[in-house]
Amino acid sequence: MLASLADSSGHAIALRILNADSLESWLADQPDEVRAWVTANGFSAKSGSFCPLPGRNGQMNEMLAGVEALDDIWSYGALPKSLPPGTYEIQPALDRDSANAAALGWALGSYSYNHYRKVDRLSASLVWPQNCDSAAVKRLARGIGLTRDLINTPANDMGPEELEEAARQLAGEHGAALQVVEGEALLEENYPAIHAVGRASTRAPRLIDLRWSGGDKTAPLVVLVGKGVCFDTGGLDLKPAEGMKIMKKDMGGAAHVLGLASTIMEAELPIRLRVLIPAVENAVSGNAFRPLDVIQTRKGLSVEIGNTDAEGRLVLADALCEAGSEKVDLLLDFATLTGAARVALGPDLPAMFCNDGALASSLAQHGERQKDSLWRLPLHQPYREKLKSKVADLNNVSEGPFAGAITAALFLEHFIPPETPWVHFDVYAWNQSDRPGRPAGGEAMALRAVYSLIEERALSGKSPSNDSA
Ligand code: BES
Ligand code: ZN
Ligand code: ZN
């Protein structure tokens, strides 16, 4: 992605960024032949459109590009793959926010997952725009690129072991410590739910635990937990083919927390960071966990299995319980947890659940500012009774079709210490089709919003969970 951003080049084609308003005033200052050319080409500065201006010698003199607004990141996303190959330089310069949006939109728009094939065509390059904070753009683009790559990697090459390897590589790059509890050791170390879900696969389940510090021992502790179901067949409650098809993305939560961790560590934010990933494959075999089995959890709550396809909440239960074993200033989890969240909000809007109103509003504001939308759903306590079981402390599913995303979040809430500021994101982590800057396949959602909140609070010395502290 970052290969499509170039250091300054003598031969760059000038790229003039215009929206509908600025096009009008720019045209008014142009000679008749330019006005006629632009009009004849039907260029109206629509987002993603462009219009070359030829010089007298037939060379490209300048390229006009249309945007919705100068700081709209997605308006720049179509250009790297649609402009004629070459190197472009934005002129005149944009202000800082717009220059950052242009560079990040360009980077995200040039992404393609080419691990198993040759690239079809090279993206056009953009000279790093003036006024742009290139370090900030680079660390976000790298984080999001990592998230997308991990999700896009097919499940045969992205099992629990490969997910561990990805975490190990990231840890190595940033001097973080990595510990892993794998296979039967999960039982010895009291992670029974992770073991129960993952034991049917030939690829051993594990808990991946990364720790890093960019501050002293008293720096706030942020813990990120990500659902790492490397493939979700549904287990014995097998998914139908259509629903199973894209379940390589069921480690999308893990991909989000690794991408976010990459950005945080690259920025050297003055926090202590812990990343916990329960990595399993929800497979079918003779020793698979069954409907109506009762399994234990790290917390000591017994869970009756109403449905083996509701496996994400089980592995997260053990990881969240471990996350709460020390004082945490901010606990965030990301998970491709329910189809119900998608029915409620569609594929692009992550559902956010939060036990702290001020934190939730602040995250929503960061989402709006970063154009990285999210939507809060309630932890509606009366629905806790839907998770009652006659034989165990809890059932892993509720009866009936209602409020599936909420009951899943309420299930998780049982495993969080009540005083811990906690946010749960139920994300789709997938683009169904190509859009500017958002190619079909794995996608990071709410990552920029969350990073922006953590960065703001870390750099202002506030507790990462509390605006007023
Ligand atoms: N990984 C799925 C959730 C999912 C499905 C996310 C499709 C995005 C798209 C999860 O493990 C699951 O299967 N959940 C079940 C829960 C149900 C059995 C209570 C679901 O949502 O159908
Ligand atoms: Zn499932
Ligand atoms: Zn799942």
Q: Report residue 246 as tokens.
A: 């894209």
Count of CB atoms within 10 A of residue 114's CB?
10
Q: What count of other Cβ atoms lies within 10 Å of the Cβ of residue 238?
A: 13
**Among the atoms of ligand 1, which is closest to the Cα of residue 429?**
8
**CA-to-CA distance for 262 and 255, rounded, in angstroms?**
11
Give mean pLDDT in consecutive 10-residue pieces for the chain, a chain of 469 residues: 86 95 96 95 97 88 96 96 95 98 98 90 92 98 98 98 99 98 98 99 99 95 99 98 98 99 98 99 98 98 98 99 98 98 98 98 97 97 98 96 98 95 98 97 98 96 67
Q: Using an 8 Å Cβ cutoff, are 337 and 426 in contact?
A: yes
In this structure, the number of other CB atoms found within 10 A of the CB of residue 62 comes to 16
Bridge partners for 209 per DSSP: 179, 276
Catalytic residue among 168, 239, 371, 384: 239
Can you give the pLDDT at residue 464? 78
SS3 assignment, position 457: helix
pTM confidence score? 0.97
User: Torsion over CA of 424, 430, 433 and 435, rounded to 10 degrees?
Assistant: 60
Domain-by-domain residue ranges, the chain? Answer: 2-132, 137-460
In angstroms, what is the span from residue 228 Cα to ligand 3's centroid?
9
Q: Is 350 in the pocket of ligand 1 (CB under 6 A)?
A: no
Q: Give me the long-range contacts of 136-141 (CB less than 8 A, separation at least 24).
A: 136/100, 136/267, 137/5, 137/100, 137/103, 137/104, 137/107, 138/2, 138/266, 139/262, 139/263, 139/266, 139/267, 140/104, 140/263, 140/448, 140/451, 141/1, 141/2, 141/104, 141/107, 141/108
Mutate to test the pocket of ligand 1, among 249, 338, 345 (most ligand atoms within 8 A of CB): 338
313 an active-site residue? yes
313 lines ligand 1 (CB under 6 A): no
Single out the catalytic residue among 138, 203, 299, 313: 313
Rg of the chain over all Cα atoms, to the nearest angstrom: 24
Q: What is the CATH number that goes with domain 137-460?
A: 3.40.630.10
pLDDT of amino acid 60: 85
Distance CA 345, CA 118 (A): 36
Tokens of 328: 């945490």
How far apart are the CA of 340 and the centre of ligand 1, in A? 8
**Rounded (10°) angle between helices 160-174 and 252-266:** 10
Q: How far does the centroid of ligand 1 lie from the alpha carbon of residue 335, in Å?
A: 10
CA distance 412 to 310: 12
Q: Is the CB of 362 under 6 A from ligand 1?
A: no
pLDDT value at residue 468: 53
Question: What pLDDT is attached to residue 20?
Answer: 94
CA geometry: angle 133, 425, 312, nearest 5 deg = 130
Backbone angles phi, psi at 387, to 5 degrees: -95, 10
Establish whether residue 438 lines the binding site of ligand 1, counting it when its CB lies within 6 angstroms of any ligand atom: no
- Distance CA(357)–CA(361), nearest Å, equals 6
| 376 bridge partner residues | 352
Let me know: does 446 contact 454? Beta carbons within 8 Å. Answer: no
Residue pair 424/335 in contact by the 8 Å Cβ criterion: yes
- Architecture, CATH, for domain 2-132: 3-Layer(aba) Sandwich (3.40)
Phi, psi angle pair for 32, to nearest 5°: -55, -40
Biggest CA-to-CA distance, the chain: 83
Nearest atom, ligand 1, residue 282 CA: 11
DSSP character string of 28-84: HTS-HHHHHHHHHTT----TT-EEEEE-TTSSEEEEEEE-SSTT-GGGGTTHHHHSP
- Looking at residue 469, what is its pLDDT? 45
- Going by CA atoms, what residue is nearest to atom 17 of ligand 1? 310
Cis (ω within 30 of 0) for the bond into 92?
yes
CB count in 10 Å sphere of residue 2: 16
239 among known catalytic residues: yes
Would you say the CB of residue 340 lies under 6 angstroms from ligand 1?
yes
State the Cα–Cα distance between residues 454 and 465, nearest whole angstrom: 9
